[in-house]
Chains A and B, each alone.
Chain A
């Protein structure tokens, strides 16, 4: 099983782990005895992690100070990988990828085509859920990087991921053993004679010219069942050209949508009551008043030429009324004050990722009449009112 697909209990040597330093700072690490992981919060020896359960927090005393630095060691998931991976291209983020997977009914029953692979962000999510993922990338360096990464992540070990070096717009999707592909790895010479049977029913196109790839799909998609597709394009002009190609090549149920994902941080805002604000001002005014009267008395004394014009300043009165901690740094949530729970949207939001154009196609809208007639014949004595056979039996009666 891969570093992603197996639910691991303990952190072990050789594991790919994600070290969580902060939300925007998650680092992939291969756990190696004797190594250390360095951050500005301190150096964490891998040996401190080995043998601990996944999710463990690791502490280290920071150099030169008496404080502690903390990290968490997590097992990778496609979603954590997406927020931590090294970008080689634009990537698909979870709000888009999760919607696409849901809408395309991605499941262990799905055979998925993805082009291009890019940074492999979406590939990891597909690999988790799909029966088989066929990923294509025409940029040689990116192909090699992705292949290496999938290898290191153990994705090929689960047997449901293939990556192929290919320009799908010019050369289509068919995979033969003379191609640069991982499909035939571990297959016998005999098996390698046949081109790969793809039969995709889920298509995801994230490349600049999907309209050039669409005509090449017919021979690699399921021939007698429905295939669903999503094209992911940032520009509306691309959508228009895609719609033209979809129409021309017999794709239907066309709909374009846009996904807006947002994240909120939970924060606290100090509750500052009007009464307190008024009281504070009264307090200020009173203080001023005391000063004014003192000065007035002094002035009167000077005028009346009395002796001893000088009046002692009164002792600084009781501490000022300061209900909101003005003038000092108050930590959000400080228990000396009262707080309201609020949510704050990220300071920078992804306001546009891409347009998602969905479509579907059934190559042969026909049924196997012979088979269907034999099934109908078999059920000819069933009356619509008769009680149903147990759900268990029904499988046998239909799985011919």
Chain B
């Protein structure tokens, strides 16, 4: 069993609900996980399965046939055997699990891929008949559905399988057969999402964590980042497992997590030496989201270093630190009274931290600078850039184009930054059904903008004569085209 590929105790995982929303779960041995209206299950029942496995929840006698080819008639056979005594009102009952082929099997109406032949309607639909067009369909709203919501609730209480509820609703649906097969499928999909009891367990990827924030309506906390911008940042910044990166992360740790995943792939015993030095504006860093990661604390301490902007820009002075404290020799340490050891080690830790900060702020040459900050970028970024090694990329993410535009103007006039460019990337998802491929009708806006450039070392100030003026800078050929013609 590989905790990066299989569902493992104590790990944080993402659980994808029938609604497609994600939920974060920590898998404690012998515990139950409740998915609210979608049911509940035992952690022990999912341990060891590969990530990506989809499970269906069954209750008591109302076990749905799990074979993918069992139709609604299979469920009907169990009708009536499912009602069982009053349930605990406060606790969602824990069901048994079966592995199903895919989310489509449970939710076959979601795409046409579930059907055997092109254009074959869903099984449920073959049974009820349908119309070639919807010209006879008069929209009389919810009154068309003859099952009242109370009756539906009652069916749910009886723990009738979701397929059964849906079959009953179709039966009771006054004009269902007048709908076209397409709209019938849409109806089925909506209803299945509502009543289905299945879930998929996913690895805690950086994209998944972002999606979780989006589902929660919390993406502004992550500066409106999108998956495509996140991928773009990692590639443009040339993130690799052996680099030392300077980073500002106002996304609550999402960005740092994305870097860690790209660098180490979740491996706690990775031999790679890469490091992220996170500069933060408050007294304490906010990398909250790392609590969902499956890296050990030790691993994070080794690979993620944090330092406040004040300590970074006004680092301690080596002499003063050394004056304030001198580590004892082994001999001296041995003879130190045990009641003084605690205080000694606290001082030693302080001493080492101070020396580390001096190293990061005044000596380290960074292999890249990645910034997601709402501080004023034109003043912040050039100062951070000072410690970036020549030829290494700088990538700044912002929710707004105007802020990266202002930054790129500032950097354009600074010879230490080569060709600042504003980059945007947008993903357009399609309804992926054969014969009905088209871009989805609505999608999330946003996704932000990036400024990308490389740190360079201009011809020495000593050769002042050689110093190009900004307009003649290496962009030489480009600068030409920048002259604005005014007649």
Interface segment out of the listed B148-156, B280-288, B316-324, B468-476: B468-476
Rounded to whole angstroms, the CA-CA distance of A388 and B28 in the bound complex is 8
Q: Would you give the 0/1 interface string for B317-360, flagging 1 where the beta carbon is closer than 8 Å to chain A?
A: 00000000000000000000000000000000000000000000
Contact of A103 among B102, B231, B484 (CB under 8 A): B231
Kindly state whether residue A389 has any CB partner on chain B within 8 Å: yes
Chain B nearest CB, measured from A91 CB (Å): 14
What DSSP secondary structure best describes chain A's contact surface?
A: mixed
Which of A266, A270, A343, A371 gathers most chain B CB within 10 Å? A266
Asked whether A362 and B50 contact (CB < 8 A) given A56-B390, A240-B434, A384-B31, the answer is yes
Give the A-B pair count, Cβ closer than 8 A.
Answer: 346
Chain B nearest CB, measured from A308 CB (Å): 41
User: Which residues on A sit within 8 Å (CB–CB) of B125?
Assistant: none
Instruction: Specify the chain A residue showing the minimal Cβ separation from B47.
Output: A372
Chain B nearest CB, measured from A338 CB (Å): 13
Interface segment out of the listed A165-173, A249-257, A286-294: A249-257
Interface segment out of the listed B130-138, B169-177, B235-243, B369-377: B235-243
Which of B1, B5, B50, B459 gathers most chain A CB within 10 Å? B50
Interface segment out of the listed A203-211, A298-306, A329-337: A329-337
Kindly state whether residue B48 has any CB partner on chain A within 8 Å: yes
User: Which residues on A sit within 8 Å (CB–CB) of B240?
Assistant: 5, 128-129
Rounded to whole angstroms, the CA-CA distance of A366 and B236 in the bound complex is 39
Instruction: Specify the chain A residue showing the minimal Cβ separation from B16.
Output: A253
Contact status B297-A390, CB under 8 Å: yes
User: Which residues on A sit within 8 Å (CB–CB) of B476?
Assistant: 22, 41, 69-70
Asked whether A78 and B238 contact (CB < 8 A) given A102-B207, A109-B266, the answer is yes
Kindly state whether residue A324 has any CB partner on chain B within 8 Å: yes
Asked whether A23 and B405 contact (CB < 8 A) given A7-B367, A240-B434, A257-B427, the answer is no
Asked whether A392 and B298 contact (CB < 8 A) given A98-B235, A99-B227, A236-B437, the answer is yes
Interface segment out of the listed B246-254, B307-315, B450-458: B450-458
User: Which residues on B sit within 8 Å (CB–CB) of A266?
Assistant: 405, 408-409, 412, 420, 422
Q: Would you give the 0/1 interface string for B433-460, flagging 1 where the beta carbon is closer than 8 Å to chain A?
A: 0110101000000000000001111110
User: Which residues on B sit within 8 Å (CB–CB) of A261?
Assistant: 232, 423-425
User: Which residues on A sit within 8 Å (CB–CB) of B52?
Assistant: 225-226, 253, 360, 362
Kindly state whether residue B59 has any CB partner on chain A within 8 Å: no
Q: Would you give the 0/1 interface string for A352-396, flagging 1 where the beta carbon is closer than 8 Å to chain B?
A: 000101001010111111011001100110111000111110110
Instruction: Specify the chain B residue showing the minimal Cβ separation from A252.
Output: B102
Contact status A109-B4, CB under 8 Å: yes
Rounded to whole angstroms, the CA-CA distance of A236 and B240 in the bound complex is 35
User: Which residues on A sit within 8 Å (CB–CB) of B266?
Assistant: 107, 109
Rounded to whole angstroms, the CA-CA distance of A180 and B458 in the bound complex is 47
Kindly state whether residue B80 has any CB partner on chain A within 8 Å: no
Rounded to whole angstroms, the CA-CA distance of A386 and B50 in the bound complex is 26
Contact status B425-A68, CB under 8 Å: no
Kindly state whether residue B10 has any CB partner on chain A within 8 Å: yes
Contact status B28-A332, CB under 8 Å: no
Interface segment out of the listed B87-95, B187-195, B257-265: B257-265
Contact status A9-B389, CB under 8 Å: yes
Sorting the interface of chain A by its residue count into under 10, 10 to 19, 20 to 34 or 35 or more gives 35 or more
Which of A59, A131, A380 gathers most chain B CB within 10 Å? A59
Asked whether A376 and B47 contact (CB < 8 A) given A257-B427, A394-B10, the answer is yes
Kindly state whether residue B303 has any CB partner on chain A within 8 Å: no
Instruction: Specify the chain B residue showing the minimal Cβ separation from A6.
Output: B242
Instruction: Specify the chain A residue showing the minimal Cβ separation from B238.
Output: A77
User: Which residues on A sit within 8 Å (CB–CB) of B79?
Assistant: none
Kindly state whether residue B397 has any CB partner on chain A within 8 Å: no
Asked whether A23 and B478 contact (CB < 8 A) given A266-B422, A331-B471, A383-B30, the answer is yes
Contact status A382-B28, CB under 8 Å: yes
Count of chain B residues near A, Cβ 8 A? 119
Kindly state whether residue A263 has any CB partner on chain B within 8 Å: yes
Rounded to whole angstroms, the CA-CA distance of A399 and B294 in the bound complex is 13
Kindly state whether residue A222 has any CB partner on chain B within 8 Å: yes
Contact status B429-A107, CB under 8 Å: no
Chain B nearest CB, measured from A332 CB (Å): 4
Rounded to whole angstroms, the CA-CA distance of A8 and B419 in the bound complex is 21
User: Which residues on A sit within 8 Å (CB–CB) of B422?
Assistant: 263-266, 343
Contact of A398 among B8, B51, B435 (CB under 8 A): B8
Kindly state whether residue A341 has any CB partner on chain B within 8 Å: yes
Which of B367, B408, B425 gathers most chain A CB within 10 Å? B425
Rounded to whole angstroms, the CA-CA distance of A260 and B426 in the bound complex is 5
Contact status A257-B389, CB under 8 Å: no
Contact of A260 among B409, B428, B475, B483 (CB under 8 A): B428
Kindly state whether residue B197 has any CB partner on chain A within 8 Å: no
User: Which residues on A sit within 8 Å (CB–CB) of B391?
Assistant: 53-55, 73-75
Kindly state whether residue B9 has any CB partner on chain A within 8 Å: yes
Contact status B456-A107, CB under 8 Å: no
Kindly state whether residue A25 has any CB partner on chain B within 8 Å: yes
Rounded to whole angstroms, the CA-CA distance of A103 and B203 in the bound complex is 12
Rounded to whole angstroms, the CA-CA distance of A382 and B31 in the bound complex is 9
Contact status B6-A55, CB under 8 Å: no
User: Which residues on A sit within 8 Å (CB–CB) of B99?
Assistant: 365-366
Contact status A78-B235, CB under 8 Å: yes
User: Which residues on B sit within 8 Å (CB–CB) of A324?
Assistant: 486
User: Which residues on B sit within 8 Å (CB–CB) of A268?
Assistant: 409, 484
Chain B nearest CB, measured from A6 CB (Å): 8
User: Which residues on A sit within 8 Å (CB–CB) of B267?
Assistant: 108-109
Contact status A22-B9, CB under 8 Å: no
Kindly state whether residue B268 has any CB partner on chain A within 8 Å: yes
List residues 224-268 of chain A with CB under 8 A from any CB of chain B. Answer: 224-226, 236, 239-240, 243-244, 246-247, 252-268
Chain A nearest CB, measured from B417 CB (Å): 10
User: Which residues on A sit within 8 Å (CB–CB) of B28?
Assistant: 382, 384, 388
Kindly state whether residue B363 has any CB partner on chain A within 8 Å: no
Kindly state whether residue B13 has any CB partner on chain A within 8 Å: no
User: Which residues on A sit within 8 Å (CB–CB) of B463?
Assistant: 59
Rounded to whole angstroms, the CA-CA distance of A265 and B29 in the bound complex is 55
Contact status A365-B427, CB under 8 Å: no
Chain A nearest CB, measured from B457 CB (Å): 5
Kindly state whether residue A94 has any CB partner on chain B within 8 Å: yes
Contact of A102 among B227, B269, B296, B486 (CB under 8 A): B227
Chain A nearest CB, measured from B369 CB (Å): 13
Contact status A259-B44, CB under 8 Å: no
Contact status A108-B272, CB under 8 Å: yes
Chain B nearest CB, measured from A199 CB (Å): 11
Contact status A22-B475, CB under 8 Å: yes
List residues 264-288 of chain A with CB under 8 A from any CB of chain B. Answer: 264-268, 270
Kindly state whether residue B215 has any CB partner on chain A within 8 Å: no
Interchain Cβ contacts under 8 Å between A and B, 18 examples: A7-B243, A21-B477, A25-B477, A52-B457, A57-B474, A68-B472, A102-B206, A108-B267, A128-B238, A201-B5, A226-B52, A256-B437, A262-B424, A379-B29, A379-B30, A384-B28, A384-B32, A392-B298
Starting from the known contacts A74-B391, A253-B103, A379-B9, 6 additional A-B residue pairs (CB-CB under 8 Å) come to: A52-B457, A101-B231, A102-B230, A252-B103, A331-B482, A392-B296
Which residues in A have some Cβ–Cβ distance to B below 8 Å? 5-7, 9, 20-23, 25, 41, 52-59, 67-75, 77-79, 94-95, 97-103, 105-110, 125, 128-129, 131, 201, 222, 224-226, 236, 239-240, 243-244, 246-247, 252-268, 270, 324-333, 341-343, 355, 357, 360, 362, 364-369, 371-372, 375-376, 379-380, 382-384, 388-392, 394-395, 397-400
Which residues in B have some Cβ–Cβ distance to A below 8 Å? 1-6, 8-11, 28-32, 44, 47-53, 99, 101-104, 111, 113, 118, 203, 205-207, 227-228, 230-232, 234-236, 238-243, 261-270, 272, 295-298, 365, 367, 389-393, 401, 405-406, 408-409, 412, 415, 418-430, 432, 434-435, 437, 439, 454-459, 463, 466, 468, 471-478, 482-487
